[in-house]
Chain A
Protein backbone atom coordinates (compact mmCIF):
# COMPACT_ATOMS: atom_id res chain seq x y z
CA UNK A 1 0.00 0.00 0.00
CA UNK A 2 1.37 3.40 -1.00
CA UNK A 3 0.73 6.18 1.50
CA UNK A 4 1.41 9.87 0.89
CA UNK A 5 2.63 11.94 3.81
CA UNK A 6 2.23 15.70 3.75
CA UNK A 7 3.71 17.64 6.67
CA UNK A 8 1.85 20.95 6.83
CA UNK A 9 2.04 24.13 8.85
CA UNK A 10 -0.48 26.90 8.15
CA UNK A 11 -1.20 25.76 4.60
CA UNK A 12 -5.01 26.00 4.63
CA UNK A 13 -5.10 27.76 1.26
CA UNK A 14 -2.98 25.12 -0.49
CA UNK A 15 -3.43 21.82 1.29
CA UNK A 16 -6.84 21.01 -0.23
CA UNK A 17 -5.56 20.87 -3.79
CA UNK A 18 -2.42 18.95 -2.81
CA UNK A 19 -4.50 16.32 -0.97
CA UNK A 20 -6.95 16.00 -3.89
CA UNK A 21 -4.09 15.48 -6.35
CA UNK A 22 -2.14 13.10 -4.12
CA UNK A 23 -5.21 10.89 -3.54
CA UNK A 24 -5.31 10.11 -7.26
CA UNK A 25 -1.96 8.33 -7.03
CA UNK A 26 -1.88 6.81 -3.55
CA UNK A 27 -4.09 4.57 -1.45
CA UNK A 28 -4.14 6.93 1.50
CA UNK A 29 -3.02 10.47 2.28
CA UNK A 30 -1.80 11.37 5.77
CA UNK A 31 -1.52 15.06 6.56
CA UNK A 32 0.51 15.89 9.64
CA UNK A 33 -0.82 19.21 10.85
CA UNK A 34 2.19 20.63 12.65
CA UNK A 35 0.32 22.85 15.10
CA UNK A 36 -1.34 25.05 12.47
CA UNK A 37 -3.56 27.90 13.56
CA UNK A 38 -5.39 28.44 10.27
CA UNK A 39 -7.48 25.28 10.07
CA UNK A 40 -5.09 23.33 7.81
CA UNK A 41 -6.10 20.05 9.44
CA UNK A 42 -9.83 20.68 8.93
CA UNK A 43 -9.36 21.48 5.25
CA UNK A 44 -7.25 18.35 4.75
CA UNK A 45 -9.83 16.19 6.55
CA UNK A 46 -12.62 17.54 4.37
CA UNK A 47 -10.61 16.52 1.31
CA UNK A 48 -10.36 12.96 2.58
CA UNK A 49 -6.95 12.93 4.21
CA UNK A 50 -6.19 11.19 7.45
CA UNK A 51 -5.03 13.98 9.77
CA UNK A 52 -2.55 13.61 12.60
CA UNK A 53 -2.19 16.82 14.58
CA UNK A 54 0.79 17.99 16.63
CA UNK A 55 -0.27 19.92 19.71
CA UNK A 56 2.37 22.50 18.88
CA UNK A 57 4.64 23.37 16.00
CA UNK A 58 7.52 20.91 16.12
CA UNK A 59 9.23 21.29 12.75
CA UNK A 60 9.23 19.59 9.37
CA UNK A 61 11.45 16.71 10.54
CA UNK A 62 9.22 15.86 13.50
CA UNK A 63 6.11 16.08 11.31
CA UNK A 64 7.64 13.80 8.68
CA UNK A 65 8.57 11.18 11.27
CA UNK A 66 5.07 11.35 12.76
CA UNK A 67 3.70 10.77 9.27
CA UNK A 68 6.02 7.82 8.70
CA UNK A 69 4.98 6.29 12.02
CA UNK A 70 1.30 6.81 11.15
CA UNK A 71 1.85 5.21 7.73
CA UNK A 72 3.51 2.17 9.30
CA UNK A 73 0.55 1.72 11.61
CA UNK A 74 -1.83 2.01 8.68
CA UNK A 75 -0.01 -0.88 7.01
CA UNK A 76 1.93 1.09 4.40
CA UNK A 77 4.65 -0.65 2.43
CA UNK A 78 5.77 2.42 0.52
CA UNK A 79 5.64 6.06 1.59
CA UNK A 80 5.76 9.20 -0.54
CA UNK A 81 6.49 12.54 1.12
CA UNK A 82 5.31 15.79 -0.44
CA UNK A 83 5.49 19.46 0.50
CA UNK A 84 2.15 21.03 1.41
CA UNK A 85 2.66 24.26 -0.52
CA UNK A 86 1.98 22.73 -3.91
CA UNK A 87 5.50 23.06 -5.30
CA UNK A 88 5.58 19.35 -6.19
CA UNK A 89 3.35 17.80 -8.82
CA UNK A 90 1.66 14.67 -7.42
CA UNK A 91 1.23 13.46 -11.01
CA UNK A 92 4.93 12.59 -10.84
CA UNK A 93 4.42 10.15 -7.96
CA UNK A 94 4.26 7.13 -10.34
CA UNK A 95 7.59 8.23 -11.81
CA UNK A 96 9.20 8.21 -8.37
CA UNK A 97 7.57 4.90 -7.46
CA UNK A 98 9.03 3.11 -10.47
CA UNK A 99 12.51 2.36 -9.03
CA UNK A 100 10.81 0.89 -5.95
CA UNK A 101 8.45 -1.23 -8.07
CA UNK A 102 11.39 -2.38 -10.20
CA UNK A 103 13.29 -3.20 -7.00
CA UNK A 104 16.27 -1.11 -8.05
CA UNK A 105 16.10 1.34 -5.14
CA UNK A 106 15.12 1.53 -1.48
CA UNK A 107 14.96 5.31 -1.42
CA UNK A 108 14.07 7.71 -4.22
CA UNK A 109 14.90 11.42 -4.21
CA UNK A 110 13.22 13.88 -6.56
CA UNK A 111 15.80 16.04 -8.28
CA UNK A 112 14.60 19.56 -9.07
CA UNK A 113 17.87 20.30 -10.85
CA UNK A 114 17.75 17.31 -13.19
CA UNK A 115 15.62 19.08 -15.79
CA UNK A 116 14.84 22.63 -16.87
CA UNK A 117 13.03 24.29 -14.00
CA UNK A 118 12.63 27.93 -13.20
CA UNK A 119 14.35 27.98 -9.83
CA UNK A 120 15.23 31.32 -8.19
CA UNK A 121 18.96 31.95 -7.78
CA UNK A 122 18.77 32.18 -3.99
CA UNK A 123 17.08 28.76 -3.87
CA UNK A 124 19.85 27.29 -6.00
CA UNK A 125 22.45 28.75 -3.62
CA UNK A 126 20.67 27.39 -0.53
CA UNK A 127 20.37 23.96 -2.11
CA UNK A 128 24.02 23.92 -3.14
CA UNK A 129 25.06 24.77 0.42
CA UNK A 130 22.71 22.10 1.73
CA UNK A 131 24.19 19.52 -0.63
CA UNK A 132 27.78 20.36 0.37
CA UNK A 133 26.93 20.25 4.08
CA UNK A 134 25.16 16.95 3.54
CA UNK A 135 28.24 15.59 1.76
CA UNK A 136 30.42 16.79 4.62
CA UNK A 137 28.14 15.27 7.27
CA UNK A 138 27.34 11.97 5.56
CA UNK A 139 29.95 11.35 2.87
CA UNK A 140 27.16 10.93 0.33
CA UNK A 141 26.43 13.22 -2.59
CA UNK A 142 22.77 13.67 -3.48
CA UNK A 143 21.98 16.17 -6.22
CA UNK A 144 18.92 17.52 -4.45
CA UNK A 145 19.32 16.43 -0.85
CA UNK A 146 16.95 19.12 0.49
CA UNK A 147 13.91 18.19 -1.61
CA UNK A 148 10.77 17.27 0.29
CA UNK A 149 9.57 14.99 -2.52
CA UNK A 150 10.85 11.51 -1.68
CA UNK A 151 9.81 7.87 -1.70
CA UNK A 152 10.67 5.35 1.00
CA UNK A 153 10.61 1.75 -0.19
CA UNK A 154 9.77 -1.16 2.13
CA UNK A 155 13.31 -1.52 3.50
CA UNK A 156 13.76 2.23 4.09
CA UNK A 157 10.30 2.54 5.60
CA UNK A 158 11.04 -0.25 8.05
CA UNK A 159 14.39 1.16 9.16
CA UNK A 160 14.09 4.95 9.05
CA UNK A 161 14.28 6.68 12.42
CA UNK A 162 14.48 10.47 12.21
CA UNK A 163 15.48 12.41 15.31
CA UNK A 164 15.97 15.91 13.94
CA UNK A 165 13.04 18.29 14.25
CA UNK A 166 13.64 20.92 11.63
CA UNK A 167 14.68 21.04 7.99
CA UNK A 168 17.96 19.33 8.88
CA UNK A 169 16.03 16.06 8.70
CA UNK A 170 16.70 16.07 4.92
CA UNK A 171 20.38 15.56 5.66
CA UNK A 172 19.52 12.98 8.29
CA UNK A 173 17.67 10.94 5.67
CA UNK A 174 20.79 10.91 3.49
CA UNK A 175 22.74 9.79 6.52
CA UNK A 176 20.26 6.97 7.06
CA UNK A 177 20.79 5.95 3.42
CA UNK A 178 24.54 5.65 4.04
CA UNK A 179 24.16 3.98 7.40
CA UNK A 180 21.69 1.31 6.30
CA UNK A 181 23.19 0.98 2.82
CA UNK A 182 19.92 1.73 1.05
CA UNK A 183 20.00 1.74 -2.73
CA UNK A 184 19.30 5.29 -3.88
CA UNK A 185 17.68 6.58 -7.06
CA UNK A 186 17.34 10.20 -8.14
CA UNK A 187 14.58 11.16 -10.54
CA UNK A 188 14.36 14.56 -12.28
CA UNK A 189 11.06 16.26 -11.48
CA UNK A 190 9.25 19.51 -12.09
CA UNK A 191 8.97 22.13 -9.40
CA UNK A 192 6.60 25.07 -9.22
CA UNK A 193 7.96 28.09 -7.40
CA UNK A 194 5.62 30.99 -6.78
CA UNK A 195 5.68 34.07 -4.60
CA UNK A 196 3.77 32.01 -2.06
CA UNK A 197 6.28 29.13 -1.96
CA UNK A 198 9.20 31.56 -1.85
CA UNK A 199 7.65 33.42 1.08
CA UNK A 200 7.03 30.11 2.89
CA UNK A 201 10.56 28.83 2.28
CA UNK A 202 13.51 28.96 4.63
CA UNK A 203 15.01 32.34 5.44
CA UNK A 204 18.77 32.92 5.44
CA UNK A 205 18.82 32.86 9.26
CA UNK A 206 16.90 29.59 9.26
CA UNK A 207 19.40 28.22 6.75
CA UNK A 208 22.31 29.08 9.05
CA UNK A 209 20.53 27.50 12.01
CA UNK A 210 19.84 24.37 9.97
CA UNK A 211 23.49 24.17 8.86
CA UNK A 212 24.74 24.49 12.43
CA UNK A 213 22.36 21.77 13.60
CA UNK A 214 23.54 19.45 10.84
CA UNK A 215 27.17 19.94 11.88
CA UNK A 216 26.38 19.64 15.57
CA UNK A 217 24.40 16.44 15.17
CA UNK A 218 27.06 14.99 12.88
CA UNK A 219 29.64 15.55 15.58
CA UNK A 220 27.44 14.12 18.33
CA UNK A 221 26.75 10.87 16.53
Chain B
Protein backbone atom coordinates (compact mmCIF):
# COMPACT_ATOMS: atom_id res chain seq x y z
CA UNK B 1 0.00 0.00 0.00
CA UNK B 2 1.51 3.28 -1.13
CA UNK B 3 1.04 6.04 1.41
CA UNK B 4 1.08 9.74 0.57
CA UNK B 5 2.73 12.17 3.03
CA UNK B 6 -0.75 13.25 4.18
CA UNK B 7 -1.63 9.64 4.94
CA UNK B 8 1.38 9.46 7.22
CA UNK B 9 1.12 12.89 8.87
CA UNK B 10 -2.65 12.81 9.56
CA UNK B 11 -2.70 9.48 11.41
CA UNK B 12 0.49 10.41 13.28
CA UNK B 13 -1.03 13.69 14.42
CA UNK B 14 -4.29 11.92 15.30
CA UNK B 15 -2.38 9.40 17.38
CA UNK B 16 -0.63 12.24 19.18
CA UNK B 17 -3.97 14.00 19.83
CA UNK B 18 -5.55 10.80 21.14
CA UNK B 19 -2.59 10.01 23.42
CA UNK B 20 -2.67 13.61 24.67
CA UNK B 21 -6.37 13.33 25.48
CA UNK B 22 -5.91 10.10 27.44
CA UNK B 23 -2.93 11.61 29.19
CA UNK B 24 -5.25 14.39 30.34
CA UNK B 25 -7.67 11.75 31.59
CA UNK B 26 -4.91 10.17 33.66
CA UNK B 27 -4.10 13.59 35.07
CA UNK B 28 -7.82 14.09 35.81
CA UNK B 29 -8.11 17.08 33.51
CA UNK B 30 -10.46 15.41 31.08
CA UNK B 31 -13.30 12.98 31.69
CA UNK B 32 -13.49 9.52 30.11
CA UNK B 33 -16.52 10.70 28.18
CA UNK B 34 -14.66 13.61 26.61
CA UNK B 35 -11.66 11.44 25.79
CA UNK B 36 -14.01 9.00 24.11
CA UNK B 37 -15.43 11.70 21.81
CA UNK B 38 -11.96 13.07 21.18
CA UNK B 39 -10.79 9.58 20.18
CA UNK B 40 -13.84 9.15 17.92
CA UNK B 41 -13.17 12.46 16.14
CA UNK B 42 -9.46 11.87 15.52
CA UNK B 43 -10.10 8.23 14.70
CA UNK B 44 -12.42 9.41 11.95
CA UNK B 45 -9.73 11.76 10.62
CA UNK B 46 -7.32 8.81 10.49
CA UNK B 47 -9.79 6.51 8.77
CA UNK B 48 -10.60 9.12 6.12
CA UNK B 49 -6.90 9.77 5.56
CA UNK B 50 -6.10 6.08 5.15
CA UNK B 51 -9.24 5.16 3.22
CA UNK B 52 -10.08 8.22 1.11
CA UNK B 53 -12.52 6.22 -0.98
CA UNK B 54 -14.93 6.57 1.92
CA UNK B 55 -15.34 10.14 0.69
CA UNK B 56 -16.83 8.88 -2.56
CA UNK B 57 -19.82 7.80 -0.56
CA UNK B 58 -19.92 11.19 1.19
CA UNK B 59 -19.68 12.88 -2.20
CA UNK B 60 -22.74 10.97 -3.37
CA UNK B 61 -24.64 11.88 -0.22
CA UNK B 62 -23.70 15.58 -0.11
CA UNK B 63 -23.55 16.28 -3.84
CA UNK B 64 -20.00 17.69 -3.61
CA UNK B 65 -18.99 16.13 -6.87
CA UNK B 66 -16.88 18.74 -8.63
CA UNK B 67 -13.83 20.84 -7.78
CA UNK B 68 -15.70 24.15 -7.50
CA UNK B 69 -17.91 22.75 -4.78
CA UNK B 70 -14.91 21.25 -3.03
CA UNK B 71 -13.13 24.65 -3.04
CA UNK B 72 -16.26 26.34 -1.70
CA UNK B 73 -16.64 23.78 1.06
CA UNK B 74 -12.94 24.06 1.92
CA UNK B 75 -13.18 27.83 2.29
CA UNK B 76 -16.30 27.47 4.35
CA UNK B 77 -14.33 25.10 6.57
CA UNK B 78 -11.53 27.65 6.90
CA UNK B 79 -14.01 30.41 7.76
CA UNK B 80 -15.65 28.12 10.29
CA UNK B 81 -12.27 27.49 11.88
CA UNK B 82 -11.52 31.23 12.04
CA UNK B 83 -14.88 31.94 13.71
CA UNK B 84 -14.26 29.06 16.10
CA UNK B 85 -10.81 30.46 16.96
CA UNK B 86 -12.25 33.94 17.58
CA UNK B 87 -14.93 32.47 19.85
CA UNK B 88 -12.22 30.68 21.83
CA UNK B 89 -10.27 33.92 22.23
CA UNK B 90 -13.41 35.77 23.32
CA UNK B 91 -14.14 33.05 25.85
CA UNK B 92 -10.64 33.39 27.27
CA UNK B 93 -10.93 37.17 27.50
CA UNK B 94 -14.35 36.87 29.12
CA UNK B 95 -12.97 34.46 31.70
CA UNK B 96 -10.02 36.71 32.45
CA UNK B 97 -12.31 39.70 32.83
CA UNK B 98 -14.62 37.75 35.15
CA UNK B 99 -11.68 36.62 37.25
CA UNK B 100 -10.63 40.24 37.76
CA UNK B 101 -14.19 41.29 38.69
CA UNK B 102 -14.35 38.43 41.21
CA UNK B 103 -10.98 39.24 42.76
CA UNK B 104 -11.91 42.91 43.06
CA UNK B 105 -15.14 41.91 44.80
CA UNK B 106 -13.30 39.73 47.31
CA UNK B 107 -10.78 42.48 47.94
CA UNK B 108 -13.49 45.07 48.58
CA UNK B 109 -15.15 42.63 50.99
CA UNK B 110 -11.88 42.30 52.92
CA UNK B 111 -11.42 38.68 51.87
CA UNK B 112 -8.41 39.04 49.62
CA UNK B 113 -5.01 37.46 50.03
CA UNK B 114 -1.75 39.04 48.97
CA UNK B 115 -1.15 36.95 45.87
CA UNK B 116 -4.71 37.13 44.55
CA UNK B 117 -3.93 39.15 41.47
CA UNK B 118 -0.92 37.03 40.54
CA UNK B 119 -1.74 35.04 37.48
CA UNK B 120 -4.20 37.47 35.97
CA UNK B 121 -1.62 39.27 33.89
CA UNK B 122 -0.15 36.26 32.12
CA UNK B 123 -1.36 35.01 28.80
CA UNK B 124 -2.15 31.41 29.47
CA UNK B 125 -3.33 31.12 33.03
CA UNK B 126 -6.97 30.76 32.15
CA UNK B 127 -6.47 28.38 29.30
CA UNK B 128 -7.14 24.72 29.78
Contacts and interface: CB of A to CB of B under 8 A. Distances in A.
A163 B95 contact: yes
B106 A66 contact: yes
Interface in B28-84: 28-34
Given A216-B87, A216-B91, A220-B88, A69 B31 contact: no
A221 B105 contact: no
Contacts of B28: 179-180
Contact of B102 (A62, A178, A217, A221): A62
Contacts of B104: 55
Residue of A56, A74, A165, A218 with most partner-chain B CB within 10 A: A165
A111 interface: no
Nearest to A65: B102
Interface residues of A, number: 30
B109 interface: yes
B109 A53 contact: yes
Given A58-B101, A62-B101, A165-B98, A53 B111 contact: no
B31 A74 contact: no
Contact of A52 (B30, B111, B126): B111
Nearest to A179: B31
A11 B33 CA distance: 38
A54 B101 contact: yes
Contacts of A220: 88, 91, 128
A201 interface: no
27 contacts: A50-B109, A52-B105, A52-B106, A52-B111, A53-B108, A54-B101, A54-B102, A54-B105, A55-B104, A56-B101, A59-B98, A62-B101, A66-B106, A69-B102, A69-B111, A73-B113, A74-B111, A165-B95, A175-B31, A178-B31, A179-B29, A179-B30, A179-B31, A216-B87, A220-B88, A221-B30, A221-B34
Interface of A: 32, 50-56, 58-59, 62, 65-66, 69-70, 73-74, 138-139, 163, 165, 175, 178-180, 216-218, 220-221
Nearest 9 CB-CB pairings of A with B: A139-B33, A52-B109, A66-B102, A73-B111, A62-B98, A178-B31, A52-B105, A54-B105, A58-B98
Given A58-B98, A178-B31, A180-B28, 9 more contacts: A52-B106, A55-B101, A74-B111, A163-B95, A165-B94, A178-B33, A216-B91, A221-B29, A221-B30
